[in-house]
Amino acid sequence: MVLLPNKKGEWQPRTFAAQELSKFVIDVFPELNSELQADEGVHTVFMFLTERCRLAIKNAEYEKLKLVFNSLSQIIELKGADSEIENAIQNSFLEETDFSSVNGAKIVELLPENLKKILIAG
């Protein structure tokens, strides 16, 4: 189950694929609503998410990053998650996120264990 950031409960679709991912990212970052389309592919969604997280890292928005990381961790654990999403978390998100920046050490501390394992394995 993914706990929605809007505090309206939990949500687990039958399958968690690109369209659900787009909705989820917009729920976390409403400012992306005008840029992100519901029919975007998984890697495109992660491109937007990665860019927004880079800005959050630069601005030390730790709570927002923690929300994203914990949510991605939950998505990986979903039984109905599309395997392309886990691949995108590694290739389009973790590998493209700058953990060597000024705030990088603090950011790595925020990663849940399953994301740390993916980062180390990559």
pLDDT along the chain (122 residues), means of 10: 55 64 83 81 87 87 89 81 82 83 81 89 74
- Nearest 5°: phi and psi at 53? -70, -35
- What confidence score (pLDDT) does residue 5 get? 59
For residue 5, being part of any structural domain is answered with no
- What confidence score (pLDDT) does residue 104 get? 75
For residue 44, being part of any structural domain is answered with yes
For residue 9, being part of any structural domain is answered with no
Burial class (CB in 10 A: 0-12, 13-18, 19+), 34: exposed
Q: What is the rounded distance in angstroms from the CA atom of residue 100 to the CA atom of residue 40?
A: 29
Which residue pairs, CB below 8 angstroms and at least 24 apart, start in 35-42?
42/17, 42/18, 42/82, 42/84, 42/85, 42/88, 42/92
- What confidence score (pLDDT) does residue 11 get? 53
- What confidence score (pLDDT) does residue 26 get? 84
For residue 1, being part of any structural domain is answered with no
For residue 2, being part of any structural domain is answered with no
Contact between 42 and 90 under an 8 Å Cβ cutoff? The reply is: no
Domains in the chain: how many in total? 1
Q: What is the rounded distance in angstroms from the CA atom of residue 40 to the CA atom of residue 109?
A: 30
- What confidence score (pLDDT) does residue 113 get? 94
For residue 7, being part of any structural domain is answered with no
- What confidence score (pLDDT) does residue 91 get? 85
Domain enclosing residue 46, as ranges: 14-121
- What confidence score (pLDDT) does residue 83 get? 79
For residue 29, being part of any structural domain is answered with yes
- What confidence score (pLDDT) does residue 82 get? 74
- What confidence score (pLDDT) does residue 111 get? 92
- What confidence score (pLDDT) does residue 106 get? 83
